[in-house]
Structure formats: structure tokens, C-alpha cells
A and B are shown apart, each in its own frame.
Chain A
């Protein structure tokens, strides 16, 4: 069927610079560029262009630019181009619109309406370059009280298992199959070097990655792919995934095309079959059932591992989170409205869930009110972009954050939202072996470690400015936040005062 959808981008090729080297032809995985040997000319079929910039970055003579197609519809606030083109796409295919990455709509980003404090006159700020500054975070259940033996100065009762983070930033769950093995290698190495954790996602653990176990979170989700006792014991934390910010309440289909021989080995399913992750876990229909799985995994791992439970932030998030803590979770993870995905129905990604800032504040407040905040660590995910976002999240009550998209951007991702096609030209969200080679784990891990190093220094700067010398003192310290341009209700839920107040 002829498509009525116009090209999204224009490929501009400067003929005076182009040397017909065909790097663009080889780099583009969406078949935009082609070479005509007879005319010795490189050409572009713009309708396929996704705006990922791979060709622009790799063009040796800077001959290329990609710009927005300026072709306009008549201005209409209701019938904006996206609404028109989504309808066209469905009229032409009859299918569910699929997309990648996180919610790209204009819902309020609360981080951009929250401002941090600093010390002036009444208490001294600290210079983090020359004075000690502590970012170390321990995740895990903290006892209500501790007793110390006065003679030996040792704890009378052992602490529940804890994991140590040198920076309060972990890498979100991204499964092998959704991302390539080289991406997971990059994440695992970077987590080990930077003293933090990466997360296997629901695709099992490739045999070459077991050696990073001390920095690994293994995930158990509804598909139970690659879950066996060796896997459960491979990491330090086992995460039960109930939901994901990009697709709350939705299961997953890893399309058969992505289930290559290696992926099938790790997921333990036949090559080429769809890997179906059911929407619910059929052994969890209630908080009591969640407790049952939490303790099944604790039994299966000899009570040595932390159990994390991850949910998408939805309307009743604080009541659910309270139940999760009471079900025995050592870590609870909230994934917000902007959480990303390798593939999700667009209508779900763009319309379901609540912003993470609100969910975080509501949950932290609720757990404090119920005097159970110490029983679980609180980790948030979904759209964290910078150390500023992280500082605000910690002050709102988070123990640590997960980053997914930010980590992939460090590896080259340009957020072009084509993850679901499996054709990622940057070699990130694909299992095509010719493309996955584009990520070199050595360079990839270096880029990730660099990012975390930069953020860690910035976090120390922020803390120093506040006159605080340990991240622990900022945690849940909402007096260091003020809201700008927020309603009274929003301020109340966030538990912060207005700027100027």
C-alpha cells in the first residue's frame, strides 16, 4: 500500500565535500544512503531516515547534515502531525503502534521546577576538591535499631545483607536480546570499575558475564527466561520485575527475529520463537503472593541476596509500595512515566503512569508515616538526565537512581526511538551481529565510567555548596528543595515549599 506519511527528515549532502567514499551507505542500517556506481554518486532515500545521526558523525568530510522536513500541514492544535501520521500508519497496517525509548510528550518534568539550595553566610559551604566528601550508599534493609556489644564494639546482631554503591547511580535493567551483548559487557565492566551495579533485565545472564557477579543485579520477571539457581545466585541482588515505566501493566514480546542462537542460549528458548513475557506474573496476584515469591527467592539463595521489587509508578503507588515493603522487599524500585523501553505500544508509553518525582515523594512520605522507611531502600528510574536530577531525587527521598537511556546515550544513542525495529545503527538495541560490533566494550565502558565520574564530581559540588559533606545528609532532606511554578497541590505532594518561602 502506498504510504501517505511524508519523510520526517531531509538529508543534505554537500556535493563539494562528498568524496563518494560510501561510509554513509555502510553505516546506515535503515537503507537511506545508496551508491550508484555508474554515475559515481551517493544518493539518499529520505523516507527511511530516522534522524539517528550515524552517517553525519561518521562522514569523514563533514559533507552531511540531517534536518527536519519542513513540509507542514495546516496549523491545527488538535490535529498535529503526530496525530495525523499515527492514524495513517495504522490505516496502512492495521496494527498496534510500536515504539522505543521513553514517553516523549510534554508532560511536566518536575525536576525542571525544583531548585536546590546553597549555603550563604549563615553556614559555610565546603570545597569538595580539598575536603572529604562522601557519596557511598548502602542499599538494603536497615534494622529498626542496632545494639553494640560494649566490650567488643561489635554489632550484637548481624545486619541484613547490604550492597555498597560508590556512586548512587546504577544501570537500569536492559535485557540481552533487547540490547546487544557488547552493550551489556560495557555496562557490566563500567559498573565494576565505578563501584556500582548493572542489571541483567529479563533475558538471562550470558556465560561471559558471570565474572561481573559482584556488580550484577539479576532480574526475575514474568517470562522467567534463563532463571535457574546458578543465575539467581550469580549476582548480589535479585530483582523481581512487576512493571516498567514505559509500559505499566503490559507484558513483552521479544520478536523471533531478535532470538538469535546466542540469545536463545541465554534465554533458554528455541531460536526464532517469540519470547513472550506475560503481562502479570501468574504466581503474583496480591501482596501476599509477592511475599511468597520474595521468600521463595530468599530460600533459593540462602538469604544471602537482597531482593528488589520493581514497579511502574502508577496512581496508587504509595499504597502498593507500602505493601511491597511489608512483603519483604529489601529494595523497592519505582519506574516513572518517562521510563524507557526497547519496545512498547505507543499508546501505553505515552499515556500510562505518573511522573517519577511525584511517585517518589508520595512513596517516601508514606513509608515514613508508616515507620517502615528503614525496612527497604528506595531506588527510582525513568528519565534521569543529570547529576542535578539525581541530587533532587536524593533530597526527595531516593537512596539511589537507575539510569537506562542516559547510559545508552553515553554509548552513542541519539534517542531516535527506533529500538523496536532492531536496526539500531549505533549497535545498541539490536542483535544483528554486523551492527552489534559497533559497540566496543572497552571504549563503551570507558564512556560510561567517564559519565559517572563527571556526575560524582558534580554531586560533590552540589553537596559542598549546601554545606553538606555526605550524601546521606541530603537523603530525604526536602528543606534543600524549593518549587518554582508549581501549584499548592503539587508542592504539597512533593513535600517542598515554594521558591521565596
Chain B
């Protein structure tokens, strides 16, 4: 399902790097050298906690990770397509600009913090403050699709982009457990399945039914999610979703005495 044209070329050999017992800086150096030497597809094996993978790689290469990458996976990332066969830690996609991160597992806190572009797909749940302060500008529009649920403060200060919470671990009538959802939100949109009590919602957020445009955006992202994780996208789309949107673009306009 990857949109990366470089990967469609035949005979694209895979470069393997064994991350066993090597430190963050050394692993990232090897990764950079491999990309500089022209590698388009790289497999990192035995990854165990090494940080910043994909950070300084400004090319649309494919990086497959086996193991558990450390914090700030793809931070400031600008192009790579990362697939993690394992869980991601905190700060996955931090201030990301372009590219894609697919996690076959769950991710930690602040997934996609301040992302301004690119896509993040998490098969299971995420920690606190997912999608916090995501932005968008012009054609740059980040999206995060979370297969499970998120913890408190997801979508906090959200200023742009799309976040989808599929809640695949929930039953249709289940309530989410996250509180302060979208608090301070002043841009972007969250599509979520499942229910929310009023008190769980940030004061700056409204709830609406999806319109045709929303449904098209959601269907597109769900199809991509389904492709990555080999699940039935159409079945997911039969569930009811709600749309969370910012009530104000200037939530704090009346705060001051001039």
C-alpha cells in the first residue's frame, strides 16, 4: 500500500543492519552510510531501544525495524517509510515533516507531537497526549491512525491534521477512557469510534456527524490502515464514527485586558 515510487522498482535489494549491542549514534551512522551508498530498502534487526531512527535521513527510503526502537523514532523525519515489527516508545514521529511510520504494535506517549506532515499508523493503542499540537499548512497535512485507543489529552492543542481513533479493542457501546480529549484544540479534526461522556472532552471541542468529505477522508485513511495491517477496512467503516472539531480557531482570544 506504500505510496513510495522508489519501492516499486524491481530488484531493489535489501540492506541488512544488525543492531544488536550497538549504540544509538553508531546505528544511525550505519543507517546514514547505507542510504548515502544508495540503499533504498534497509532492514534493521535486533533493534533494542536505539533512539532517533530515521531522523537525519531526508530520502524516501524504506526502513524495516525488527525489535523495539527507542524514543523519538523518526523525530524531525523528512521522507523515510518506517515499518516497525514491534512496539514504538515515546515521541514516535516527533515534529515529523514527511514520510510514514507504521507500527505493528502499540506506541508510547506524545505520538506525532507537533507533526506537520507525513502519516503514522499504529495497529494498537497509544499513550498520553497523542497528536498533541499537530499542525498543517497548505498541502502539508499530517495524519495519525490509531487502531486501538488513546490515553488522556489526545489531540491537545491540535492546530491541524487528522487523527483517527478506530477503537478496534472496544465494543460498539463502549466508552473511551481518555479524558481531556482535544483540549485546547484550534485546528484539524479527530474521527473516533466509540462513545465519550461530556466531561471527557476538552472545552474547546465540538462533536458532529461526519459529512461526505469527512467520510471520504476517513475511508481513505482506514483503507491504508487496513492495507498495512491486513484487516478488513470495509468492516471497520461500517461502525459509527463521530467527528471532533475545534469550536474556535482562537480559543484564547478573550483572555486579556488591553
CB closest chain-A residue, reference B71: A292
Considering the complex, which residues of chain B in the window 239-253 have a beta carbon less than 8 Å from any beta carbon of chain A? 249-253
CA distance A264 to B253 in the complex (A): 18
Judge whether B91 and A93 touch: CB under 8 Å: no
The answer to whether the Cβ of A205 comes within 8 Å of any Cβ in the partner chain is no
Which of B127-135, B195-203, B207-215 is the contact stretch?
Answer: B127-135
Judge whether B91 and A283 touch: CB under 8 Å: yes
What are 7 inter-chain pairs, A to B, with CB distance below 8 A?
A95-B258, A224-B114, A232-B76, A270-B160, A282-B132, A292-B91, A300-B56
Which of A170-178, A271-279, A374-382, A439-447 is the contact stretch?
Answer: A271-279
- Give the residue of A224, A256, A292 whose beta carbon is less than 8 angstroms from that of B51: A292
CA distance A224 to B135 in the complex (A): 10
- Give the residue of B28, B110, B186 whose beta carbon is less than 8 angstroms from that of A283: B110
B185 to A: closest C-beta gap in Å? 10
A92 to B: closest C-beta gap in Å? 8
Judge whether A95 and B76 touch: CB under 8 Å: no
A287 to B: closest C-beta gap in Å? 14
The answer to whether the Cβ of A479 comes within 8 Å of any Cβ in the partner chain is no
CB closest chain-B residue, reference A225: B135
**A→B interface (CB under 8 Å):** 89-90, 92-98, 223-225, 227-229, 232, 253, 255-256, 264-265, 268-270, 272-274, 276, 278, 282-283, 292-293, 295-297, 299-302, 420-421
Count residues on chain B whose CB falls below 8 Å from chain A CBs.
46
Q: Tell me whether A97 and B257 are in contact in the complex, defined as CB-CB below 8 angstroms, given that A264-B137, A296-B75, A296-B76 are known contacts.
A: yes
CA distance A224 to B51 in the complex (A): 20
The answer to whether the Cβ of B121 comes within 8 Å of any Cβ in the partner chain is no
B contact residues around A229 at 8 Å (CB): 56, 58, 76, 78, 97
Judge whether B252 and A282 touch: CB under 8 Å: no
Judge whether B254 and A268 touch: CB under 8 Å: no
CB closest chain-A residue, reference B25: A299
Q: Tell me whether A273 and B114 are in contact in the complex, defined as CB-CB below 8 angstroms, given that A98-B258, A229-B97 are known contacts.
A: no
CA distance A229 to B98 in the complex (A): 10
A contact residues around B143 at 8 Å (CB): none
CA distance A197 to B258 in the complex (A): 34
B contact residues around A297 at 8 Å (CB): 76
Judge whether A276 and B184 touch: CB under 8 Å: yes
B contact residues around A293 at 8 Å (CB): 72
**Which of A227, A278, A283 has the most chain B CB atoms inside 10 A of its CB?**
A283
The answer to whether the Cβ of B84 comes within 8 Å of any Cβ in the partner chain is no
Judge whether A256 and B250 touch: CB under 8 Å: yes
A contact residues around B116 at 8 Å (CB): 224, 228, 268
Q: Tell me whether A282 and B110 are in contact in the complex, defined as CB-CB below 8 angstroms, given that A268-B116, A269-B159 are known contacts.
A: yes
- Give the residue of B78, B184, B257 whose beta carbon is less than 8 angstroms from that of A90: B257
Q: Is the interface of B mostly helix, strand, loop or mixed?
A: loop
A contact residues around B177 at 8 Å (CB): none
**Which of A92, A295, A301 has the most chain B CB atoms inside 10 A of its CB?**
A295
Closest 7 CB pairs of A and B: A95-B257, A93-B257, A224-B114, A268-B137, A299-B52, A300-B76, A98-B256
**Which of A256, A293, A299 has the most chain B CB atoms inside 10 A of its CB?**
A299
A contact residues around B187 at 8 Å (CB): 269-270, 273
Judge whether B94 and A269 touch: CB under 8 Å: no
Judge whether B133 and A95 touch: CB under 8 Å: no
Chain B 64-82 per-residue mask, 1 if CB under 8 angstroms from chain A, else 0: 0000000110011010000
Judge whether A296 and B94 touch: CB under 8 Å: yes
Judge whether B56 and A274 touch: CB under 8 Å: no
A contact residues around B135 at 8 Å (CB): 224-225, 268-269
Q: Tell me whether A276 and B110 are in contact in the complex, defined as CB-CB below 8 angstroms, given that A268-B140, A269-B160, A292-B91 are known contacts.
A: no
CA distance A95 to B253 in the complex (A): 10
Considering the complex, which residues of chain B in the window 111-167 have a beta carbon less than 8 Å from any beta carbon of chain A? 113-114, 116, 129, 132-133, 135-137, 140, 156-157, 159-160
Judge whether B137 and A274 touch: CB under 8 Å: no
A contact residues around B257 at 8 Å (CB): 89-90, 92-98
CB closest chain-B residue, reference A345: B256
Judge whether B95 and A227 touch: CB under 8 Å: yes
CB closest chain-B residue, reference A227: B95
Judge whether B159 and A273 touch: CB under 8 Å: yes
Judge whether B133 and A274 touch: CB under 8 Å: no
CA distance A282 to B158 in the complex (A): 13
A96 to B: closest C-beta gap in Å? 5
The answer to whether the Cβ of B255 comes within 8 Å of any Cβ in the partner chain is yes
A60 to B: closest C-beta gap in Å? 32
